[in-house]
Chain A
C-alpha cells in the first residue's frame, strides 16, 4: 500500500496532493424497551483525494479504489477550475512523517463476542425495565468502530493509523401519563471496551433521575448565578470557546481577528482552556490529524489571556501561525476541516462549598443534552437542575436551557473547581455536515454569574 500510494501522489501536475483510504468495521446494537431491535455490522471501504493547484482545491471521494490515476487527474482538473477563479489556498510547512500507529488497547472490543455484548447491555436494559412502574421504556445504543486509515501526501508523508472509537448510551424513560422524562448514562473510549462494564450504579442513578424529573417543575426563566457540573463545564468549553478558537472561522475575517488577537484578556487569571489530542483513551485522542500533522496540547486561554488557536495547515499558513494538528475529517467522504479534539478547562482551586457560599438565588445545572454556538452566542441544555437559595441546594427543576454571550460569559466565570474530571460521552460534534465527530470535554465544576436561563 505504502509504495502504491506514495507513487500515486507524486504526480507533478499539482502543487500538493494527498490520498486517504479508510477501511472500517462498525458493530452496533440497539435495545428499545425489552427488545433487542438491531444488531448491525457495517463494512466501510473508500477513499478521497485532495489536490492543490495554484491556490485552488479539488476534492474527490469514492468507494472504488481502482483507476486511482484517473481520480487524481480529476481532482487536479477541479483544482485548476478553482484556481482560475482567483483562489489563494496554501499550506504551512510541517515535518514529513512515516509512521504506523497501533491502538494501545486495554480491552479490544473485537475480542468480546457478540453474545457477551448482548448479555452486558441486556443486563443494563433489565436494570432499567425492572426499576419500577414509572419507567415505561428504555433505550440503549452501543457501537464500536475499528478503522485502518492510510494517508499519503506528495511531500513524502505516509501514515497508517489504526483507530478505535466506541461509545454507548443507556436511557431510562419515565412517564406519568402526561409527561415523559429521561435519565441517561453514557460512556466512550478510544482504547478500552472496559469502560462499558460495571455501570449498574450509573444506570440506576439515571432511572432515579428520570422518575424524579416527572414531578419536578420547569425552571423559571431569568438571569441566575449558575454552577455547572464538570460535564456541562466541558460542554461550555467546547461550545462557548472551542468553536470560536477554530481558525477557519477567523482566518479570513479581519474584524474577528481584531477581537481574537492573541494576548487579549478574556477571563479571570484562574481560567485556563486547552485542546489536546494527547490523552490516550479519550474519544478525542489522536496521534496524527487527517493532514498527517502530529497532534499536541494547544493552550487557548492561559491565566485568562488568549494565547492560541486551533489550526489546519491552511489556516496556519494564512495567519502566519503554527499548525496544531486540528484538521479532522469525519470519514473518507469528507475533506479535513478545523475541529476540536479533547477540549478541557484546567483545574482551579475552588471547592463545591466555596461555589455555593454566597449564592442568594442560583441554579446548579448538571449533565448535558448538548449545545450549539454561532461563535458569539452559545446555548446548552442540562439534564437536570437544582435551585440554589442562600447558599443551599434545594428543589430539582427541569427544562434547564442556558444561553449566553461568549465574550461576556467568559468574564463572568468567577470560580473554577479543583475537581477536574475526565468525562466521556456518546455524543459527537457537528460542523459543516460532518457529524458526529468523536470529541471529548474534560473539566471541573465552574461558577458563572448572570447566566440567562430560558423559561416562563
Chain B
C-alpha cells in the first residue's frame, strides 16, 4: 500500500476551557457538591478538560429551570418565534461547523472526515428541519392543536455526541417542550459548546439545560418526578431499567437502543459495491453505531469472492489519528469500551470462529482496535448475538432468501438491516420481511432529518426524525 503524507486538521480552531460547569437556566454554574470528572482524548489519553459532575441537587435545579422556562416562556411563545430560535441555532452550527467537528473528533476519537462531513452537517440539518415544524404542528397529523408535554429528560450516548443531542433537542424544542440533557460522560464537550451556542442565539434561559455526569446523574434525571418525558439513546439493558422505573408514571418514554443488524448479500449483487457498503456498515465510526451492520449474511455461492474482496478492502483502511483527513478508522472511545470489544472478540475465538485482521500499526497511546472479521460464525456464537459496538464483523452464510430472512430476524434486536441485490422484487420482498425499523437496500448507514429512525422489538420504541419524530414530544 502506498503511503499518504499526514494531513492533520488544525486544532487551533477550538478553544477548550480548563474546566466546565453545568449549563442551567442560561448560565454555567458549579455543581452543588463541587464534583467533577476528566474528559480525555481517546486517541492520546491526553486530558482535555475537567467537567462538572451533576448530582441530584443539580438535576433538581435544572428541572426547575426547565419547568419555569416551559411555563413562563417557551410553551407560550408562538411557534413562529420558536422556529426562529431554532433557525438561529442551525445557522450558528453551520458557521461554527469546523470548530464543532474538530472538538467532536478530539473528545470522541472519530475521524475528522466523519465529524466534518457527516455528524456536524446532519446536526445543522436536523435543527433546520425541525425549526420549520415549530409553526406547523397542526399540520403534522396529530390533531388541530397538539400540545407539548412539558419538561423532557434526555440522555444520550457517546458515539455521535452532538448528532444525538440534535436528534433530542431539535424536535423537543420545536414541539414546545423545554429540556434537560445529559451528555455521555466520555464526550461532554460538544454539548457544552452547544450550550454556548444557545447563549449566542439568545435562547431564553432554562429552555435548554445541559447537566454533565455519568450513569448516576442520568438516573437522577430520568427518575426525577418533575419531568414529563424521557428520551434515551443507549444500551438495551439501561433502556429496560428506564422503562421499569417509568412504570406507573405519566412520563412518555421513547427509547433508541442496541442493535445487531444483518447485512444480507445476495449472489447477484455487484460485489465491489456491496463490499464498500459492508465496510461502511461496520467500520463507520469504529463500529460504535447502534445500527451497524455487524452480521454479514453472504449467499453461499459467492462467499469466497466476497470474503476475498472484503479482506482486500479492509487492508486499505487507514487506522490512526482522528484529526488526520486521510484516516478511515479512529480511536475507540474509551478504555472500558475497548475492554468490551476485546473480551467479546476473545470469546469469538474461544467459541470457534476464525478471526482475521489486516496488518495494522496501531499507535502506542490511546485506545485502538484493528478492523476485525470473524468467519465460521454460527447463530449460537455470542459475537453473532451480542452487540459488540466496535469494528468487528461476524460473517455467516445462507442458501435461500427464506433462510436469510430467518437468520436476519433471529435476534431480540430490530433496529436496522441491509440488503444487497440487483433484483428489485427481491429487495421489496426482503424489506417486507425484515423486522427492523430501517432497511437500507444497496446502501447502508444513511441518515436524514426527514427520515424516521428507530427500532422494533428490544431495539426500543418511538421514532426520531421526520414527522414521526414529533410524536415523541407531543401529548398525543
A binds B: no
